[in-house]
A and B are shown apart, each in its own frame.
Chain A
Amino acid sequence: MPTLPRDAGIGFKALHYEAILEERPAFGFLEVHAENYMGAGGPAHARLARLRADYALSVHGVGLSIGGPDPLDEAHLARVKAVCDRYEPESFSEHLAWSSHEGAYLDDLLPLPYTDETLRIVCDHVDRVQERLGRRMLLENPSTYLAFAASTFEETAFLAEIARRTGCGLLLDVNNVFVSATNHGTTPRGYIDAFPLHAVGEIHLGGHAQEEIDGAPFLIDAHGTPVADPVWALFEHVIARTGPLPTLVEWDNDVPDFPVLYAEAARARSVLRRHAPREEAAHAHAG
């Protein structure tokens, strides 16, 4: 199965469709949320089918509730499979989070404790997703605002164990690392150093909102601003260790005009190129 190029990608927004079609900008791939393509037809599918002809594609799910205690929603998994069958994306990814319980969908990525119980739940769910989709998936580290007294694993060890048991890959959201570390008073580089980088199949970069609680910075994963400078530095720290990886720039709220988003992707690409193996760098330069 083809994989995403080790290049910068863009989170696709319908309002950028015309700009992308006219300018055919050079970036590596597009990413879409699976749940936005679960209707039967219409303009959303028409746009994606058109762009998919020209770009590699990552399908990113937000609704499978992989970290939730309920059995996986087989009807929803069938919808995800239909999207994957329709577009044959180079990658499918989901989140280490939950969003559904007893029939209610909470439309957010909610946190879970890291325990033997939740490890078993998540691994069962990842196994089922990979079996149903017939492909390896990537699982994304969350941004969190709270910790759990019950947790017996560090998040990095928890993700490493999931990857080891299920064979899934990981999606490393560098902004989430920075948000969580700031909120929990830990060091983002310490998290990266403990992260199973060998399993990473994609990077996410996005903007966060900064607030304060009791005078201390409190970060919210809002995806409504440019990527922050310390997140760029942390990204470079990752790429220096891993070499180039498919790297998505996400901007989901207060979405800017296309050139602003494209400039963020170009900045990510310049970091990837700086750390490309010499041959690839020469090739990229010549190209």
Chain B
Amino acid sequence: MPMPGEMARFAAQARAAILDGAAVPDGLGARDPGQVARRFAVYRNNVTVGLVDALATRFPVVHRLVGDAFFQGAARVFLARSPPRSPVMTFYGDAFPDFLGGFPPAAALPWLADVARLEAARTHAYHAADAGPLSPADLAAVAERDPERWGLALHPALRVVASAHPIVAIWAMNQPGATPGPLASRDAETALVARPGLDVRVVPAEPGEAEFLAACGRGASFADAVEAALATAAAFDPARALARILAHGLCAGVTLPETETEEPS
């Protein structure tokens, strides 16, 4: 009879054999004992190929930018270091952008990690909670109120990815059907990732917008959020920002202080 803990010992050996290339675990048999290593290799291959494919599916633009051979190599180094911690494979690879940022062979592509961050953000936006985007009627309802007294709630799908590189342009020219070409500008871009209905969209932020949205996310009033945006971008235009928030579904609704929501209007 096996000693207690034999399953844990086998699992530890199998894990090391699959992820780290350690020796095949003891105690395995096959019709022909000479086949054990080749049969075990099926599991190792399933896991490795499955995880690399999961990353390639989640990071298609990174895959296209670096090519398959480079991507395979980078993904295999990453998965040995950072195997999934959860069975929810949808979000496997949240740490891949940081890994790419510190991966010496990718040092010549300084924008790569930020493009990966944009792709990771898209997955989160895709699976985020549903919420009715802010509507013109929501805004009309607070139009007469003091802008110190109401604020905007961010849409749960909204993700903001700041970069020192033109990541939205790089991402867009590497979409299926698009043709990569010279960049029109090397200027920094911050990506706004949104999902007003069921379709994820990526738009470059205009000056001050990221700061405006960050302030809204902290619960600031509309007036305070405008002030925060103006502090970094003097040209920030609140009316234009509201129009873009409506157009791209960046916010979910209007928030009022609790004492006011109960007042008859």
Q: List residues of A whose CB falls within 8 A of some B CB.
A: 35-36, 38-46, 62-65, 68-70, 73, 75-76, 79, 98-108, 110, 112-113, 115-118, 121, 145-150, 152, 183-185, 213-214, 216, 218, 220
Contact = CB atoms under 8 A, between A and B. Distances in A.
Given A41-B128, A146-B39, A79 B28 contact: no
A63 B87 contact: yes
Contact of A214 (B32, B51, B88): B32
A66 B165 CA distance: 46
A39 B89 contact: no
22 contacts: A40-B127, A42-B127, A42-B157, A45-B130, A46-B198, A63-B86, A68-B7, A69-B7, A76-B87, A79-B88, A99-B87, A101-B11, A101-B15, A104-B15, A105-B86, A107-B84, A115-B1, A148-B27, A149-B27, A183-B30, A213-B39, A216-B31
Interface of B: 1-2, 4-8, 10-12, 14-15, 18-19, 27-32, 34-36, 38-40, 42-43, 46-47, 50-51, 54, 83-90, 126-130, 156-157, 195, 198
A106 B39 contact: no
Output the residue of A70, A107, A148, A152 with the most chain B CB within 10 A: A107
A43 B198 contact: yes
Given A42-B130, A117-B5, 18 more contacts: A36-B90, A40-B156, A42-B127, A42-B195, A43-B126, A46-B198, A63-B88, A68-B7, A101-B8, A108-B50, A110-B43, A117-B6, A118-B7, A146-B36, A148-B29, A150-B27, A183-B39, A213-B38
Contacts of A65: 87
Q: Give me the 7 closest cross-chain CB pairs, A-B, nearest first.
A: A63-B87, A39-B127, A41-B130, A40-B129, A69-B8, A105-B84, A104-B83
A118 B5 CA distance: 9
Given A99-B87, A218-B39, A107 B51 contact: yes
Contacts of B42: 145, 220
Nearest to B199: A43
A64 to B, nearest CB: 8
Nearest to B8: A69
Output the residue of B4, B85, B86 with the most chain A CB within 10 A: B86
B35 to A, nearest CB: 5
Contacts of A115: 1-2, 6-7
A43 B50 CA distance: 23
B43 to A, nearest CB: 6
A244 to B, nearest CB: 32
Contact of B6 (A43, A101, A113): A113
Nearest to B126: A42
Output the residue of B12, B19, B29 with the most chain A CB within 10 A: B29
Contacts of B43: 108, 110, 145
Given A42-B127, A79-B88, A121-B7, A150 B19 contact: no
